[in-house]
Amino acid sequence: MASSKPLTEELDNTAPMQAENQQGNLSIIVRGFIDMFPLCVAVIPWGILCGSLAIQVGLSPWQAQAMSLFVFAGAAQLAGMQLIGLGSPAMPILSSTFVISSRHLLYSAVFQSYVKDLPLFKRIVFAFFLTDEMFALTNAYIAKHKRFCYVYAVASGIAFYVMWNLATLVGIVAGNNIDNLQAYGLEFAIAATFIALVVPAIKDKPVLMSVLASGVSVMVLELLAFEYALIASTFIGMLAGYYFARKSASRNMNDKYTTKQEQSDE
């Protein structure tokens, strides 16, 4: 009987702790939604274009919406639907969408150390919602708070997923009622979205050089009609960023060594 009181007090204390955790998670979810909102707005024209193009290449409204619901792969969806419209066989469609989506292998490698100990279901959920936008926001969160937050990452991903599918639905309706929707220049939303992701991330010389190297190389390789320009330019950008990061780190070490030498001489 003497030990029942501490046990009761311990049990009574769990309720406030759970409530506090729930409130904390709720605030993180709201923060994820808010941070993703500008990118959600930017992707609306892109989603509309995707939905309308699906209708114009011959997909039914249900098929068009299902593609956004289950594939959820922006640029790969657009490329795939263009090939479908041209009557391409399955293999070129699969290979093209794989090449375009291969950057997600790099994203996954970045987050591997953070999610490797999570349950399989959570890792699957994280992988499904992993997009360029979610990658950028989650990386920024890690840089700011010095920790990875699964709730924040998935919340931001869900916000983007919902907006993408709503925009696709609008595009499906528009595709059934407006001819040649592509003439309105909605494809610029793709470039605008990536610019909005990249520019805020440029905070030092290695990142800047990585962006410049990727941009220049992809333009040159596209002019040369190189089939894997996207993948090649990605690795060129990574190598450039790595080189300048190592160079910057080496310079900082030399500066620290010089400072210590000067202090010891004094």
Verify that 170 and 240 share a domain, yes or no.
no
Task: DSSP for 182-238, please give it.
Answer: GGG-TTHHHHHHHHHHHGGG--SHHHHHHHHHHHHHHHHHHHTT-TTHHHHHHHHHH
Verify that 117 and 62 share a domain, yes or no.
yes
| Burial degree of 130 (CB within 10 A; 0-12, 13-18, 19+) | buried
Asked whether residue 263 is domain-assigned, the answer is: no
Instruction: Give residue 254's pLDDT.
Output: 64
Reply yes or no on whether the pLDDT at 237 is more than 50. Answer: yes
**Residue range 146-170, pLDDT digits in tens:** 999 999 999 999 999 999 999 999 9
Instruction: Give residue 149's pLDDT.
Output: 95
Asked whether residue 128 is domain-assigned, the answer is: yes
Asked whether residue 151 is domain-assigned, the answer is: yes
Instruction: Give residue 8's pLDDT.
Output: 47
Verify that 113 and 237 share a domain, yes or no.
no
Asked whether residue 2 is domain-assigned, the answer is: no
Residue 256: pLDDT band with limits 50, 70, 90: low
Asked whether residue 18 is domain-assigned, the answer is: no
* 83: containing domain: 25-201
Verify that 117 and 77 share a domain, yes or no.
yes
pTM above 0.75, yes or no: no
**Residue range 62-89, pLDDT digits in tens:** 999 999 999 898 888 888 887 888 787 8
Q: Which of 160, 184, 201 is the last residue of a domain?
A: 201
Asked whether residue 243 is domain-assigned, the answer is: yes
Least confident of 215-219, 250-254, 261-265: 261-265
**Residue range 225-236, pLDDT digits in tens:** 887 777 788 788
Reply yes or no on whether the pLDDT at 20 is more than 60. Answer: no
Say what percent of the chain tops pLDDT 90.
Answer: 30
Q: What is the CA radius of gyration of the chain?
A: 24
Verify that 190 and 76 share a domain, yes or no.
yes
Asked whether residue 170 is domain-assigned, the answer is: yes
Task: State the chain's mean pLDDT as an integer.
Answer: 81
Coil, strand or helix at 115:
helix
| Burial degree of 126 (CB within 10 A; 0-12, 13-18, 19+) | buried
Verify that 170 and 76 share a domain, yes or no.
yes
Verify that 70 and 189 share a domain, yes or no.
yes
How many domains does the chain contain in total? 2
Verify that 184 and 244 share a domain, yes or no.
no
Q: What number is the average pLDDT over the span 168-186? A: 76
Asked whether residue 102 is domain-assigned, the answer is: yes
Q: What number is the average pLDDT over the span 92-107? A: 81
Verify that 167 and 230 share a domain, yes or no.
no
Verify that 48 and 110 share a domain, yes or no.
yes
Verify that 81 and 212 share a domain, yes or no.
no
Verify that 106 and 212 share a domain, yes or no.
no
CA distance 98 to 92: 10
Q: What number is the average pLDDT over the span 79-104? A: 81
